Amino acid sequence: MTSHPNVNALLSNALRSNAIAVLDYTSQTHAIPMKSPLYQRSWNPVGVVMHNTSGLIALENMAGDWATRANPPPSHLAIDQSGRVAYFVRLNYADRATENTNKHISIEFQAEANGGITEAQLKSAAVIYGFLHDVYGMEFAIASKKDEKGLAHHSLFVDPTNPEAHANCPGAAIVARKAEIIELAKKIAASINFGDEPTGAWDVRVSRWYWIYQFSADGSVTWRDPYNGRNGAGTWNSNGTQISFKWKNSKTVETWDIPFKTDPRTGSCEMEGEPRYDVIAARRTG
């Protein structure tokens, strides 16, 4: 799966709607010559890795600093002490942060070595995590091992005996705030407005059936029956007035009308051997 390019714009909208300033340095970072170039991730990220900049380097200077290094370690995002968020690697790409994982989104907190984060930084991190939950289905979980899903931190991924491994990154003060970030992210995830983008989870009812759809910003979608465990996958596409679906190994014809309406009816669905039924769908908030 390659991510829909709109995913970065969607996050920017979510941040700005929460009064958070956004800067974009991805064109600079992606242009840095690297021994191992940045590449598009072919699966959803499973967690976030937190980093500490170990000094109050300005967001405006980070891409230039990385460019001077023999093996640039750019992270996806950075948050300064005022809460501003800067992009350095597009979300649909694997980063080159020093934990060397292509399964995570990396965030640098502007902070002194072993220092903590501000309330503004915590809020920005929570908006990002809530967004990643909605878009990628990222679990609201605290990771205490490198192979666990959820909110992780850099030192989980390094050899603690290596003096160059940043074995104390991001430091105890930042790690201690994981639970606060997760709890605020849960509240924010339920309030993010994606407009006419279906990205996220939906409760879908068609006649006697009930399914949970999970839309990804890359154009993929899955369905799951919570009662019998049956599930499937497909793709969705928007032409500006309708969202159409193509379900794998299925002849079902399904469309949703956009803009989404306030009344229950969302669209129509016609399954093999069945008449056409109304679709009644609502975005999940839990």
Domains of the chain listed by start with CATH number: 6-189 (3.40.80.10), 200-283 (2.40.128.20)
Give residue 21's pLDDT band: very low, low, confident or very high (50, 70, 90). Answer: very high
% of the chain beyond a pLDDT of 70: 95
- Beta-carbon contacts of 37 under 8 Å, excluding residues fewer than 6 positions away, are none
From the list 177, 214, 200, the residue with the least C-alpha distance to 130 is 200
- 136-157: average pLDDT: 94
Q: How confident is the model at residue 96 (pLDDT cuts 50, 70, 90)?
A: confident
Burial class (CB in 10 A: 0-12, 13-18, 19+), 204: buried
The string of DSSP letters for 51-76 reads: EE-SB---HHHHHHHHHTSSS----S
Residue appearing with tokens 């790409």: 93
For residue 5, name the pLDDT band (cuts at 50, 70, 90).
Answer: very low
- pLDDT at res. 163: 66
Given a cut of 90, whether residue 270 has pLDDT beyond it is yes
Whether pLDDT at 202 is above 60 = yes
The pLDDT assigned to 110 comes to: 98
- Mean pLDDT for 180-205 is 90
pLDDT at 220 over 60: yes
Q: Helix or strand or coil: residue 189?
A: helix
With vertex at residue 42, the alpha carbon angle to CA 39 and CA 44, rounded to the nearest 5 degrees, is 115
> What is the reported pLDDT for 286?
56
Q: Name the token pair of 270.
A: 């016609």
